[in-house]
Amino acid sequence: MNRREFLSAAATATLLPAAETSRPNIVFLLPDQLRAQALGCMGNKDAITPHFDRLASQGILLKNTIANTPVCCPARAILLTGKYASENGMTANDLRLRETEVTVPELLAKAGYRTGFIGKWHLDGGKRLPGFIPPGPRRQGFEFWAANQCSHAHFNTQYFRDSPEPIPMKKFEAEGWTDLALEFLDTT
């Protein structure tokens, strides 16, 4: 499936009525600076990535994609909006994604999906702190929220839900985000 087919399918999904039938989960993984060559599922026999490999074998693996602005904020905004950085305004890190941009999570919510964001947001501009993003348009269509604005603490970081009170994460960050993502999937 190429980018055009994927975006077309996502947009078409918004035209379909929300059915009571079971639908697949749609999970986007946004690891920073992860090259395709670092994954076993992309052909690197030396890369030991069993979880990524299993996700790739059981889901849809997009092999012909590119982040034309391969830094954190622009790459995330490109994925969420389907627009080039020059069109969505996210041409560098530490900018805020415009609240008027239509995002894939907004389209999925209109199609009856429950949406959630877990992890480092880094689309709200400002300082690189584990800051609070209030519920509403700055969350770009995500209903469930367990995230921080930007943190690279890796150990003992904090995250936020729907209140500005930080919640300590007392484990390795990647494990904590995984636990929160599984919590969300279990309630969806």
The answer as to whether 166 is a domain residue is yes
Catalytic site includes residue 152: no
| Inside any domain, residue 45 | no
Cα distances from 113 to residues 29, 81, 183, in angstroms, run 17, 17, 16
Q: Is 172 inside any structural domain?
A: yes
Q: Which long-range contacts (CB under 8 A, 24 or more apart) does 107-111 make?
A: 107/10, 107/11, 107/13, 107/14, 107/141, 108/10, 108/13, 108/14, 108/26, 108/141, 109/141, 109/143, 110/14, 111/13, 111/14, 111/16, 111/18
In-domain check, residue 50? no
The total number of structural domains in the chain stands at: 1
SS3 at position 155 = strand
Give a yes or no: residue 108 inside a domain: yes
Whether 150 is a known active-site residue: answer no
Question: What pTM value is reported for the model?
Answer: 0.81
Q: Which amino acid is at 107?
A: L
Q: Give the whole-angstrom CA distance, residue 188 versus residue 26.
A: 11
In a domain, 176, yes or no: yes
pLDDT in tens, 43-75: 999 999 999 999 999 988 888 877 788 889 999
Catalytic residue among 41, 72, 73, 154: 72
Is 40 domain-assigned?
no
- pLDDT level of residue 15 (50, 70, 90 thresholds): very low
In a domain, 72, yes or no: no
Kindly indicate the confidence band of residue 13, based on its pLDDT and cuts at 50, 70 and 90: very low
Q: Residue 153 is part of which domain span?
A: 93-188
- The residue from 122, 150, 152, 154 that is catalytic is 122
